[in-house]
Structure 1
Amino acid sequence: MHEEIPIIDAHVHVIPTVRGRNRFGKVVSGRCGCVNCGAELVPMLPTTCVDSNYPVESLFELMDRSGVKQAVLLQNPTLGTCNEYIGDCTQRYPDRFCGVIQIDPRDPLATETIRQFVSPQHHTLKMEMSFDWGWTGLYPDFRIDSAEMDGIWQTVADEGLEVIIDPGPPGNLGYQVEGFDALISRMPSTRFVLAHLGYLPADQLSDTVALKRRQSLLELGQRDNVWLGLSAVPTLLEESYPCPEVARLLREAVGLVGAEKLIWGSDAPVTLNLHTYQQLIDTVRCDSDFLSATQKRRILHDNAKTVFRGLNNQ
Structure 2
Amino acid sequence: MIIDAHLHLWDRQCGRVDEKPVFALCEGKSNFGGEIRQMMPPYMLDGRNTAEMLIANMNYARVSGCVVTQEYIDGNQDRYLLECKKKYPERMKICCLYEEREIDSEWIGQFDGIKICAGRLRDQNLLHHKEIFAKADRLGRFISIDLSDGDLQVKEMEKLIKMYPDLRIAIGHFGMVTTNGWEEQIALARHKNVYVESGGITWLFHKEFYPYPSAIQAIRTAIGICGIEKIMWGSDYPRTMTAITYDMSKDFIEKTSALSEEEKNRILGENAKDFYGFPDLDVPEKIRNMVE
Q: Please give the TM-score of this superposition, normalised by the length of structure 1.
A: 0.84
Q: Which secondary structure state, in structure 2, belongs to the residue aligned with residue 312 of structure 1?
A: coil
Q: 2:125 aligns with which of 135, 143, 150?
A: 143
Instruction: Give yes or no for contact 1:127–1:166 (8 Å, CA) kept in 2.
Output: yes
**Residue 15 (structure 2) aligns with:** 20
Q: Does 1:198 align with 2:167?
A: no
Instruction: Give yes or no for contact 1:111–1:151 (8 Å, CA) kept in 2.
Output: no
Tell me the CA shift for residue 31 of structure 1.
1.3
Q: Does 1:115 align with 2:140?
A: no
Tell me the CA shift for residue 103 of structure 1.
2.3
Q: Deviations over 1:200-239 (max 9, x none)?
A: 34xx4xxxxx1xx212221111111111111121221112
Instruction: Give yes or no for contact 1:230–1:263 (8 Å, CA) kept in 2.
Output: yes
Q: Which secondary structure state, in structure 1, belongs to the residue aligned with residue 215 of structure 2?
A: helix
Instruction: Give yes or no for contact 1:24–1:37 (8 Å, CA) kept in 2.
Output: no
**Residue 237 (structure 1) aligns with:** 205
**Residue 129 (structure 1) aligns with:** 118
**Residue 215 (structure 1) aligns with:** 183
Tell me the CA shift for residue 274 of structure 1.
1.6
**Residue 286 (structure 2) aligns with:** none
Q: Please give the TM-score of this superposition, normalised by the length of structure 2.
A: 0.90
**Residue 82 (structure 1) aligns with:** 77
Q: Deviations over 1:84-137 (max 9, x none)?
A: 1111211221121111111212x2xx221x521423xx211111122xxx32xx
Q: 1:103 to 1:199 in 2, by over 3 A?
A: same
Q: Does 1:158 align with 2:147?
A: no
Tell me the CA shift for residue 313 of structure 1.
9.2
Quick one: distance in 2 between partners of 1:269 and 1:187? 32
Quick one: distance in 2 between partners of 1:262 and 1:200? 13
Q: Does 1:300 align with 2:273?
A: no
Tell me the CA shift for residue 59 of structure 1.
0.1
- Structure 2 gaps, min length 5: 282-292
Quick one: distance in 1 between partners of 2:113 and 2:252? 26
Q: Mean Cα displacement is larger for which, 94-103 or 181-190?
A: 94-103
Quick one: distance in 1 between partners of 2:159 and 2:250? 33
Quick one: distance in 1 between partners of 2:224 and 2:189? 11
Quick one: distance in 1 between partners of 2:197 and 2:131? 26
The percentage of aligned residue pairs carrying the same residue is 26
Tell me the CA shift for residue 282 of structure 1.
1.4
Tell me the CA shift for residue 40 of structure 1.
2.6
**Residue 3 (structure 1) aligns with:** none
**Residue 287 (structure 2) aligns with:** none
In structure 2, what residue type is equivalent to 1:116? W
**Residue 207 (structure 1) aligns with:** none
**Residue 277 (structure 1) aligns with:** 246
**Residue 50 (structure 2) aligns with:** 55
Instruction: Give yes or no for contact 1:28–1:36 (8 Å, CA) kept in 2.
Output: yes
Give 4+ residue runs of structure 1 displaced > 4 Å after superposition: none
- Structure 1 gaps, min length 5: 1-5, 205-209
Instruction: Give yes or no for contact 1:246–1:283 (8 Å, CA) kept in 2.
Output: no
Q: Which secondary structure state, in structure 1, belongs to the residue aligned with residue 264 of structure 2?
A: helix
In structure 2, what residue type is equivalent to 1:307? F
Quick one: distance in 1 between partners of 2:233 and 2:65? 12
Computed over aligned residues only, the root mean square deviation of the Cα atoms, in angstroms, reads 1.8
Quick one: distance in 2 between partners of 1:277 and 1:40? 25
Quick one: distance in 1 between partners of 2:212 and 2:183? 21
Q: 1:24 to 1:33 in 2, by over 3 A?
A: farther
